[in-house]
Amino acid sequence: MSVQVLADEFGVSLSTIRRDLATLSSDGLLRRVRGGGSSVEQDSDSFDIVDRRSADDKDAVADRAAALIEDGQIVCLDIGTTTARLARRLRGRRITVITSSLAVVDELRHAPGPELVVLGGVLRTTYQSLVGLLTEQALAQLSANLCFLSTSGVNAAGQVLDTTGIEVGVKRAMLAAAERSVLLADKGKFPGTGLLSVCEAHDIDVLVTNSGADPGTLARMARAGTEVIEA
């Protein structure tokens, strides 16, 4: 929907519509596009397409995140393109990795070092992941030192968001299973969009992002007690 059409429909100025679109975007209710806004679609793109976006930023985040893991630890890796890149950097490490991401499995199944625990669930072929009640129940039986979460975006209030409802329960179960939580989010996800809130800023112990991420959102998370690391 274009800015002009919205202004005509509601009888207000273009600047008013632009401000409203910015607010709705920061709340995760729509996605800003050039000249207007569009709905937030679920699974509109495949894993491979999403993986190619902001590749350098994701690599920098994954490099920095890998340094947070100590030998002997048990870590949960969430569904997502950045967590799959993190898995690539864990080859040869003496750790245990718990995941429902088939992309993570592909990175580690033949790698020496990590012990791999694969969670069950319903297969989402578009995003190479296992989700649902079985996944959440399996996580409830496990305990980890760290969980590494992905996100579709973090809004201006510091809420961690996701666009796919069936993934939210898995993310929350990972948070509950781990002693500490680490959010991996490239700078393009600040402020970001998402249909549902996964957790609040104070639920995240560490945020790993890029230099240049929205300073207001980072400051909000820091005030909530999150350690912010810029790669």
**pLDDT at residue 210 is higher than 90:** yes
Q: Parallel, antiparallel, or unpaired for β 153-154 and 160-162? A: antiparallel
Give the helix ranges, DSSP H, for 77-146. Answer: 81-88, 102-108, 133-140
Averaged pLDDT, 19-48 = 66
At 4, the pLDDT band (50, 70, 90 cuts) reads: confident
Classify the phi-psi angles of 225: left when phi > 0, otherwise alpha if psi is within -120 to 50, otherwise beta: left
Name the more confident of 3 and 60: 60
The answer to whether the CB of 199 falls within 8 A of the CB of 167 is: no
* Contact between residue 7 and residue 14 where contact means Cβ atoms under 8 Å apart: yes
> What are the residues whose beta carbons fall under 8 Å from the beta carbon of 22, sequence distance 6 or more?
32
Calpha distance 21→35 (Å, rounded): 10
Q: Which residue has the tokens 């998370």?
A: 221
CATH architecture of 47-230: 3-Layer(aba) Sandwich (3.40)
CA–CA gap between residue 8 and residue 32 (Å, rounded): 19
Condensed to tens digits (0 to 9), the pLDDT of residues 107-142 reads: 999 999 999 999 999 999 888 999 999 999 999 999
Distances (CA, A) of 230 to 160, 188, 211, 214: 17, 13, 5, 11
Question: What confidence tier does 45 reach under pLDDT thresholds 50, 70, 90?
Answer: confident
Q: Convert the pLDDT of each residue in 95-111 to its tens digit.
A: 999 999 999 999 999 99
- The rounded distance, in Å, linking the Cα atoms of 191 and 152 is 10
Question: pLDDT for 14-33, tens place per residue?
Answer: 889 888 887 776 554 566 66
Whether pLDDT at 230 is above 50: yes
pLDDT of residue 9 exceeding 90, the answer is no
Neighbours of 57 (CB within 10 A): 21
Given a cut of 80, is residue 79 above it in pLDDT?
yes
Q: What is the pLDDT of residue 30?
A: 64
Q: What's the pTM?
A: 0.81
pLDDT at position 41 is 46
For 125, other C-beta atoms within 10 Å of its C-beta total: 10
- Range of weakest confidence among 10-19, 57-66, 134-143: 10-19
Paired tokens of 3: 């800015």
Cβ atoms of 50 and 84 closer than 8 Å: no
Instruction: Write down the domain spans for the chain.
Output: 3-38, 47-230
User: What mean pLDDT do residues 58-66 have?
Assistant: 98
Among the ranges given (5-9, 202-206, 212-216), the one the predictor scored with the smallest mean pLDDT: 5-9
Instruction: Give me the residue label for tokens 């993570």.
Output: 104
Indicate whether 44 pLDDT > 70: no
pLDDT digits 0-9 by tens, 155-180: 999 999 998 888 999 999 999 999 99
Whether the CB-CB separation of 197 and 169 falls below 8 Å is answered with no
Q: How confident is the model at residue 6 (pLDDT cuts 50, 70, 90)?
A: confident
In the chain, the amino acid numbered 157 is: A
